[in-house]
Amino acid sequence: MDTITKMVVINSSKLLPSDVAIKMYETKADVMVKETCFGIIVSGERSVVEPLLSDIRKLDPYGIFIKERGFSPGEPYRCRATRRGGAKPGFHNLENDDKLLPLIAAALKSLDRGEIPVEKKQKKKLDIDKLKEIIKGSEELK
Amino acid sequence: MKVFIYPTNSLILSDLVERFGHEPLAIMQEVGKKVRRQGLDSPPMNMTPEDPKFGLKYAAVEVPSGVRGRMSLFDPLLSQAEAAIVVTEPVTSFGCMGCARTNELVNFLLRGKKIPMLRLDYPSTEEEAKVFVYKISEFLKSLKPKEEKK
């Protein structure tokens, strides 16, 4: 029995975590679903969860992001309800990734349109010898 | 193909690797194996005194047990890695990613493995994100597709 837990992070203007949770219930699949502020957490057999989530991703391919989670939904060592509030471990990383999701969604859209982005040339840092020359030059002017 | 991702708990990298038809090797799957094991020896992570011993494969006994314990989690991922996507200087390094020395050691071991590796920076603008996703998609397309799990 290979049980896995997956986090579905929703960053969409068309979907709410509750919509996705209802879709999951409609499938009547043998999984545990927990609705959260960032999306949903799904736990169940790998053979059930993976195909189910690949279908769910089709609801909004650019707004749904999925990753595996070690702890199961409502795990007392992770859940804020039993840890007297505060950020759950891993929240800061998720928060940081969540800020980038609109950019990644736009990039995925452009990739599907077949656009090839042009990489901007990075500015070179000022060479230390060049800086010394500039300082010397300014001192001579005085 | 099994692709190691760094930061190993990254949502974006894990999602993109799976989206482009490969298997991400993320720390969450190793944590999951530990916490789902029958019986809780040492909650919450279920790391037992045996685990730092596995870390001896990578670090000497004088090295802090935190590094060796983390390396015991990374060991199955590193040994299975067939390719790697590394984001240099990630903004956050919290939780399982918290130990700077472990992170340096993981990067050092990855470089030594001589596997296909893509090094990137996290994007901060839409243009950078387009380049970020394009590079990842091209890199993953150049690898063999993952084998179906039976």
Strand B117-120 to A39-45 pairing:
unpaired
Q: Dump pLDDT digits (tens) for A112-139.
A: 999 898 888 878 889 999 999 999 998 8
Q: Which helix (H) or strand (E) holds B86?
A: strand B83-87
Q: Is residue A67 classed as helix, strand or coil in its secondary structure?
A: strand
The DSSP string of A16-53 is -HHHHHHHHHHTT-SEEEEE-SSEEEEEEEHHHHHHHH
Q: Dump pLDDT digits (tens) for A64-101.
A: 999 999 888 888 777 777 877 788 777 888 888 999 99
In A109-128, the residues whose Cβ lies within 8 Å of chain B are 110-111, 115-117, 119-120
Strand B23-25 to B117-120 pairing:
unpaired
Residue B149 has pLDDT above 70, yes or no: no
Residue B22 has pLDDT above 80, yes or no: yes
Residue B17 has pLDDT above 90, yes or no: yes
Closest by Cα among A124, A106, A3, A58 to B134 = A106
Q: Dump pLDDT digits (tens) for B43-91.
A: 777 777 778 788 888 888 888 888 888 888 899 999 999 999 999 877 7
Q: Which helix (H) or strand (E) holds B106?
A: helix B100-112
What 8-state DSSP symbol labels residue A69?
E
pLDDT at B98: 55
Q: What are phi and psi of B38, to 5 degrees?
A: -60, 130
- Minimum Cα–Cα distance from A46: chain B residue: B149
pLDDT at B139: 95
pLDDT at A90: 78
Of B15, B91, B132, the CB nearest to A107: B132
Choose, out of B23, B28, B47, B121, the residue to mutate when testing the contact with A (most A CBs < 10 Å): B28
- Neighbouring C-beta atoms of residue A15, cutoff 10 Å: 17
Going by pLDDT thresholds of 50, 70 and 90, the confidence category of residue B97 is: low
For A99, residues 6+ apart whose C-beta sits below 8 A from its C-beta are none
Q: Which residue has the higher pLDDT, A91 or A15?
A: A15
What pTM does this model have? 0.86
